[in-house]
């Protein structure tokens, strides 16, 4: 919801207290402020200011004596003074648990005392404040009872609508040493509880015991719509203790379900609209590094905007395929276009922005490209050093492939 529409919503203010007129002790040097006890004055009110021009929302106290405020301002209250004078807390009641006031800045603007929070107020969350001018550097100010008020921005009404939109690899047969899944979501998700909502269940209905690498950082993309889920590498790698203790997370010949429950919350703190399952059968481990000489190239026709197509004998990593293949003309000019990965991540297509011209082209492939078992173009995931034949082009940064767009 944008700020303007937020501002148009009705505010919920639960307190506006009528207070006697400000009375200050002459000994404080307040000069022009005269004792005026017994009379009533304008009510002191505390409310949210959601004017989008002064966004984000702030809290203002109005109905205070301009001269008192000016004197207060000139006294140069510290942050600690303001926190005693006009603290804002989370919750509907003043805290008793030592909770600190909300961080922000206070300003005097004529007859208005304003608090701007460092972070915008949360919609739907109730805040409480206690305005007490006697608590600041002007103390003691007599006969001004503290004003306690609560306020809240309207809650943003959101419904569960986020779903798992895709899981890669898409194939229904996956190798025993599968390294990762990519979970794509239709909207931004929340961080911090991913692993509690993902289970791997075998064909006996038994959930696997900690099959995934659980790290505090959670490997999200910056937009929080794709989670990278690594299997525990210590269990996949041969020769490491977790591999001996617990075995690989997947066993060839077994069918598994990757189950994502709907309790996982999105960035709006709403659960998923529905859970998700991917069923797959596990095949023998893949311990071969992908070799670009095994790929076939389907060259496009000249003057067309047909895709350049690369066909792989095995699925390659969906994430890396998006960024590690680069196509250039013989003059070194990059071919810009849209990348599509299809056919169970066995096909890479580049659809150019402009039609192909006749000539020779070079496809540069960064060797960090991996298959779905984490074998990259330089080396397999765990190299059997007695069998160095499994290594391809070790130490290289790139492979280069050539193709021609023939003239008519």
Partner 1 sequence: MSSTARHALIFVAMLAMVSFAWAEPGKDASPSQKASAPALESAGQLTFGPDNILFAADSRGTAVYALDLGDSDKPSDEEMAGIEDVDEKVAGLLGTTPRQVLIQDIAVHPKSKNIYLSVSRGRGDDAKPAIVKVDGKGNLSLVDLTGVSYTKAMISNVPAEDAKDRRGRPLRAMAITDIAYSGGHLYVAGLSNEEFASNLRKVPYPFTGDMTATSVEIYHGAHGAYETHSPISTLMPYEIEGEAHLLAAYTCTPLVTFPLDKLEDGKHLKGKTIAELGFGNRPLDMISFDKDGEPYILVLNSSRGGMKIDPKDVEKAEAIVTHEHITRDTPAAGVPYVTLPMAGVLRADNFDDKHLVVLRRDLNTGGLQLRLWRTEWI
Question: Pick from 74, 118, 204, 206: which binds partner 1 (CB under 8 A)?
Answer: 118
Instruction: Give the x-and-dash track for 157-186 against partner 1 (CB under 8 A).
Output: ----------------------xx------
Interface residue with partner 1, options 155, 196, 215, 252 (CB under 8 A):
215
Nearest to partner 1 of 65, 382 (CB atom)? 382
Report d(CA 250, CA 286) in Å as an integer.
Answer: 13
- Answer for which of 12, 257, 281, 326 binds partner 1 (CB under 8 A) is 326
Among positions 374, 377, 392, 399, the unique one binding partner 1 when judged by CB under 8 A: 374
> 256 vs 381, which CB is nearer to partner 1?
381
Distance CA 24, CA 136 (A): 13
Binder of partner 1 out of 76, 98, 205, 407 (CB under 8 A) = 98
Tell me the C-alpha distance between 187 and 372, whole Å.
Answer: 25
Q: What does the alpha-carbon distance between residue 222 and residue 188 come to, in Å, rounded to a whole number? A: 10
3-class secondary structure, 15: coil
**Beta carbon nearer to partner 1, 230 or 403:** 230
Interaction residues for partner 1, span 271-310 (CB under 8 A): none
Cα separation values, 379 from 175, 209, 332, 376, 401, Å: 17, 29, 28, 5, 19
Q: At closest approach, how far in Å is the CB of 191 from partner 1?
A: 5
Task: For residue 395, give Cα distances in angstroms to 20, 51, 369.
Answer: 81, 60, 13
- Please pick, from the candidates 21, 381, 399, 405, the single residue that binds partner 1 as defined by CB under 8 A: 381
- Could you tell me where the DSSP H helices lie in 75-141? 79-85
Residue bearing tokens 């550097």: 137
Site for partner 1 in 1-60 (CB under 8 A): none
Minimum distance between the CB of residue 351 and partner 1, rounded to whole angstroms?
Answer: 14
Instruction: List the Cα angle 305/307/309 in 5-degree steps.
Output: 155
- Residue 227, helix vs strand vs coil: strand
State the first-to-last Cα distance of the chain, in angstroms, to the nearest integer: 55
Q: Does 89 bind partner 1 (CB under 8 A)?
A: yes
Six token digits for residue 260: 């994502």
- Which stretch in 149-157, 208-216, 299-307, 353-361 sits in contact with partner 1 by CB under 8 A? 208-216
Q: How far is the CB of 5 from partner 1 (least distance, A)?
A: 17
| Beta carbon of residue 217, minimum distance to partner 1 (angstroms, whole number) | 4
Could you give the 3-state DSSP secondary structure of residue 314? coil
Instruction: Tell me which of 25, 54, 90, 343 binds partner 1, using CB under 8 A.
Output: 90
In the bound complex, what is the minimum distance in angstroms from residue 317's beta carbon to partner 1?
7
Q: CA 165 to CA 185: how far, in whole Å?
A: 5
Report if residue 351 touches partner 1, rule: CB under 8 A: no
**Measured at the alpha carbon of residue 374, what is the angle toward residues 371 and 378, in degrees to the nearest 5?**
80
Q: Please report whether residue 221 would count as binding partner 1 according to CB under 8 A.
A: yes
CA distance 168 to 184: 8
Q: Which helix (H) or strand (E) holds 366?
A: strand 359-366
* Pattern 234-253, partner 1, x by CB under 8 A: xx-xxxxxx-xxx-------
- Three-state secondary structure call for residue 201: strand
Q: Which of 219, 259, 273, 299 touches partner 1 by CB under 8 A? A: 219
Using the contact rule CB under 8 A, the part of the chain among 42-50, 84-92, 167-175, 289-297 near partner 1 is 84-92
Non-local CB neighbours of 407 within 8 Å, separated by 6+ positions:
302, 358
Tell me the closest approach of the beta carbon of residue 210 to partner 1, in angstroms: 5
């Amino acid at each position: 919801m944008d700020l303007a529409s937020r501002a148009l919503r009705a505010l919920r203010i639960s307190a506006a207290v009528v207070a006697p007129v400000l009375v200050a002790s002459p000994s404080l040097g307040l000069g022009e402020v005269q004792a005026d006890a017994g009379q009533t004055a304008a009510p002191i009110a505390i409310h949210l200011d959601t004017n989008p021009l002064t966004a984000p929302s702030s809290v203002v106290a109005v109905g205070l004596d301009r001269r008192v405020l000016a004197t207060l301002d000139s006294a140069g209250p510290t942050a600690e003074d303001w926190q005693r004078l006009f603290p804002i807390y989370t919750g509907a009641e003043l805290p008793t648990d030592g909770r600190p006031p909300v961080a922000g800045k206070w300003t005097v603007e004529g007859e208005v005392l304003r608090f701007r929070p460092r972070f915008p107020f949360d919609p739907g969350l109730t805040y409480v404040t206690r305005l007490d001018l006697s608590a600041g550097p002007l103390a003691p100010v007599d006969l001004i009872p503290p004003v306690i008020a609560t306020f809240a921005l309207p809650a943003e009404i959101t419904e569960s609508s986020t779903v798992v939109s895709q899981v890669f690899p898409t194939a229904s047969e996956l190798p025993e040493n599968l390294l990762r899944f990519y979970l794509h979501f239709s909207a931004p998700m929340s961080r911090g509880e991913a692993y509690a909502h993902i289970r791997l269940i075998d064909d006996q209905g038994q959930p696997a015991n900690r099959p995934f690498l659980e790290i505090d950082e959670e490997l999200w993309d910056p937009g929080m719509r794709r989670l990278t889920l690594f299997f525990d590498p210590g269990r996949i790698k041969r020769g490491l203790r977790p591999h001996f203790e617990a075995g690989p997370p997947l066993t060839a010949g077994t069918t598994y379900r990757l189950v994502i429950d709907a309790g996982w919350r999105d960035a709006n703190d709403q659960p998923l609209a529905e859970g998700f399952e991917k069923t797959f059968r596990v095949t023998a481990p893949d311990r071969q590094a992908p070799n670009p000489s095994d790929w076939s190239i389907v060259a496009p026709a000249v003057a067309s905007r047909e895709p350049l197509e690369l066909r792989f004998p095995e699925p390659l990593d969906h994430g890396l395929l998006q960024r590690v293949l680069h196509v250039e003309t013989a003059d070194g000019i990059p071919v810009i276009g849209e990348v599509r990965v299809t056919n169970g991540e066995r096909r890479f297509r580049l659809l150019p922005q402009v039609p192909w011209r006749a000539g020779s082209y070079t496809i540069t492939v960064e060797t960090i490209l991996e298959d779905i078992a984490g074998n990259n173009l330089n080396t397999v995931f765990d190299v059997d050093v007695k069998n160095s034949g499994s290594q391809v082009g070790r130490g290289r940064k790139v492979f280069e492939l050539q193709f021609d767009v023939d003239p008519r």
